[in-house]
Structure 1
Amino acid sequence: MSHCAVDSCAVETSDGVKLYTKLFKPKEEIKDNLVIVLVHPYSVLGGCQALLRGIASGLAGEGYQTVTFDMRGVGRSTGRPSITGFAEIKDVVAVCKWVCENVSVDRILLVGSSAGAPIAGSAVDQIEQVIGYVSLGYPFGMIASILFGRHHKAILQSPKPKLFVMGTRDGFTSVKQLNKKLNSAAGRVETVLIDGVGHFQMEGPDYDAQMVNVIVQFITSL
């Protein structure tokens, strides 16, 4: 991570939870008046901001200020994780508010990985400064919908630009399920399919560089 500097701080939510947060800052010229906020996978199954460090570092290397954070009950963050991810929406909103107040930007791109995708998607229209959304492996499938189905409506009805990235062997969502869901989506919707790749495989470091490239391409189209 020699191409970026990392600052740490605690961000407080509206209900008093303190979130351990990191800001990855490019050492070279900063591109655009934009910050990318990354939302990590499912807390209950061990999701944490460290899983997104490679993507955050890569985005900083491309010139974009990027934020990761541990949601409630993860790592040094206080509070307790929720099963369905609805309490964590407050976490995303709080971090975005902190970004606007402390990093002096008025444009945010929200990126959610796995269960972080429905959580981020539910926050998109609660934050005026969010100009776009990227999902990395949104769990749209039937079994995953038992936990996260009530999040679907928020992102599908949002008019803001959306990009859904998924492996074609994702065990939580088939390509058919993804396309069926997105057929009803409002606004601009794009998909990127990673051939032959599974859900957890795409979350791994081997695909960090590819995720960075996809996110950067989406930003340049906004």
Structure 2
Amino acid sequence: MGSHETEFCTVEVGDGISLQARLFKPTAVTSDIVIVLVHQYSVLGGCQGLMKGIAKELAEKGYQTVTFDMRGVGRSSGKASWTGSSEVQDVIAVCKWASQYISAERILLVGSSAGAPIAGSAVDQVEQVMGYVSLGYPFGMMASILFGRHHKAILQSPKPKLFVMGTSDGFTSVKQLKDKLKMAAGRNEIHLIPKAGHFQMEGPAYDEQMAELIDKFSATL
């Protein structure tokens, strides 16, 4: 395993909003793909710290990896929105910042839980984004009340997509996921984690496996 160091950075979104980001820098960069991780639902305590385990694993695999707090979280200014609509601008700003600050020409966008629909809405708005990984996309009926407005953007995107989900996910059933992807454009892959629940899959016990799946998918871009 390689080693890495981290650097805290500030990303300006506009409208007076600035975000705290963290760049995980491998000692030896082995991929030209930069990975941007989008954390879980801000309103329920989602923050970049929850993505740190996956970010470390990816940095040790040689990827420059970025985590950040969306608006209204941690040291990021602004106010979180219920539907994640404003946060799409945060994701776009961080991707554009990565393309300038670390010269990222190819970005893989990874969203966890509510971060998946938010990231999905940003995919086609940033030309450097080459692909998308969702960890536990909340496609189910109840979650769709909050995040349904984001579905169309990612399902219509021609960019390659990987959907990782636990078979015991309480927000989305395997059937709901497969039905959604039947209508999706481009290349869509599904990876199911047997018996894993939604929040269980977000836990540190799965960080290594998530990083492994992201790494494998990245190699196909």
TM-score (norm 2): 0.98
Separation in structure 2 between the aligned mates of residue 124 and residue 80 of structure 1, nearest angstrom = 22
Matched-pair contact (CA < 8 Å) for 1:14–1:90: no
1:42 is matched with: 41
Task: Percent identity, please.
Answer: 68
Separation in structure 1 between the aligned mates of residue 141 and residue 131 of structure 2, nearest angstrom = 26
1:54 is matched with: 53
Please list every run of 5 or more consecutive structure 1 residues that lacks an aligned counterpart in the other structure.
none
Separation in structure 1 between the aligned mates of residue 169 and residue 158 of structure 2, nearest angstrom = 26
2:199 is matched with: 200
Separation in structure 2 between the aligned mates of residue 15 and residue 59 of structure 1, nearest angstrom = 32
Please list every run of 5 or more consecutive structure 2 residues that lacks an aligned counterpart in the other structure.
none
SS at match of 2:219: helix
Matched-pair contact (CA < 8 Å) for 2:2–2:26: no
Separation in structure 1 between the aligned mates of residue 104 and residue 161 of structure 2, nearest angstrom = 20
Q: What is the letter of the counterpart of residue 97 of structure 1?
A: K
2:104 is matched with: 105
2:64 is matched with: 65
Separation in structure 1 between the aligned mates of residue 26 and residue 105 of structure 2, nearest angstrom = 18
Q: What is the letter of the counterpart of residue 26 of structure 1?
A: P
CA distances 1:29-58 after superposition (whole Å, capped 9, x unpaired): 202221100000000000000000000000
Q: How many residues align?
A: 221
CA RMSD after TM alignment: 1.1
Q: What is the letter of the counterpart of residue 137 of structure 1?
A: G
Matched-pair contact (CA < 8 Å) for 2:162–2:191: yes
TM-score (norm 1): 0.98
2:151 is matched with: 152
Matched-pair contact (CA < 8 Å) for 1:30–1:64: yes
Q: What is the letter of the counterpart of residue 116 of structure 1?
A: G
Matched-pair contact (CA < 8 Å) for 1:38–1:67: yes
